[in-house]
Amino acid sequence: MCDKRFKTKQKLNQHKQIHTTGKLYSCSQCEKCFKTQHCLNEHMNVHSSKYKCTECGKCFSTNQKLTVHRRSHSGEKPFECIICSKRFTLLGNLVAHSRIHSGQKPYKCLDCDKMFSQHEHLNRHMRVHTGDKPYKCSLCDKSFSDASNLQTHKRRIHSNRRPYDCRWCGKLFKSSDVLKQHVYTHTGAKPYSCRHCLECFTWRSQLETHLLKSHDEGTWFTCHICQKKFTGRCKLRDHVSRHEGVKPYICDECLKCFCTAGELRSYAVKHSNAKLLDWYAPKK
């Protein structure tokens, strides 16, 4: 099925059940289902608190997972890349990172022949072909193909928490990626260059738009309702929301709804300005 190799026949047989359909073993405590009895047995340790973190109280199915978790409290990163000296908490993360230097991509999509450096990246990519979006937001019913995208969505749309601050101007951001892009405005960096004409851009989206318009390279995203074309999937998504009347972005202050995140951000400034005016207004 996947050419993965194992040290014992027992582990091979356990692995084979991953490729079979259905999850046969269910937990009597939380009704979570597993494909093997071994996985269920490990899961039951979570309910028995056998492997419990003394720092935060979180429980794990194996001692190995608890050991790895403890590094999140200690900051320990025992695995170091011999090329760039970057350190990692997990050996698997180091192995995956090393492929950046070697360029190795051993995992191939059988549908489009695209190659990947990590098996989990391949699994995530396969949802492009299947359309599977198993991660559903409990607040707005929006679904995602990747768990990290769901967490980012919750933080950006349904939370005011902004844990990432710019060391240049102190501005706060909801994600590290947005902060990284923002820093380019201070440094003047333009890390995205066109391989055809070597023109450089601050944003990846600018490069993608340039490739489409100037070199006819890439994919236009077409609205199925009015056939209007867009350079990015996000732009198309926001456009379709207007057709459908969907307003998933909700203001935390007054619960007013908007079609796009940009409209919500612009509107949120009104509340911020109002608070500032109230703060500086003379007290009676």
Helix (H, G, I), strand (E, B) or coil at 57: coil
Distance CA 256, CA 105 (A): 46
Q: Is 80 left (phi over 0), alpha (psi -120 to 50) or beta?
A: beta
User: Which of 109-123, 174-188, 241-255, 266-280 is least confident?
Assistant: 266-280
64 pLDDT band, cuts 50/70/90, is: confident
Q: What is the pLDDT of residue 172?
A: 82
Q: What is the pLDDT of residue 271?
A: 65
Q: What is the pLDDT of residue 179?
A: 83
CA 209-214-215 angle, 5° bins: 100
Task: Transcribe 202-268 into DSSP letters.
Answer: SSHHHHHHHHHHHH--S--EE-TTT--EESSHHHHHHHHHHHHT---EE-TTT--EESSHHHHHHHH
Percent of the chain with pLDDT over 90: 0
pLDDT per residue over 110-168, tens digit each?
A: 888 888 888 888 888 888 788 888 888 887 778 888 887 888 777 777 776 777 888 88
Decide if 250 contacts 240 (C-beta within 8 A): no
281 pLDDT band, cuts 50/70/90, is: very low
pLDDT per residue over 159-170, tens digit each?
A: 767 778 888 888
pLDDT per residue over 244-266, tens digit each?
A: 887 777 777 777 888 887 787 77
Percent of the chain with pLDDT over 70: 90
Alpha-carbon separation of residue 179 from 63, 170, 185, 248 (angstroms): 36, 11, 10, 23
Query: Which overall architecture, per CATH, does domain 220-226+236-284 show?
Result: 2-Layer Sandwich (3.30)
pLDDT over 60 at 183, yes or no: yes
List, in order, residues 6 or more apart from 193 with CB less than 8 Å away: 199, 200, 201, 207
- Containing 29, the helix (H) or strand (E) segment is none
Average pLDDT over residues 69-82: 88
Q: Alpha helix locations (H) across 49-167?
A: 63-74, 91-102, 119-130, 147-157
Q: What is the pLDDT of residue 23?
A: 59
Average pLDDT over residues 207-217: 84
Query: What residue ranges do the domains of the chain occupy?
Result: 220-226+236-284
CA 151-153-155 angle, 5° bins: 70
Average pLDDT over residues 67-73: 87
pLDDT per residue over 2-30, tens digit each?
A: 778 888 888 787 777 767 655 567 888 87
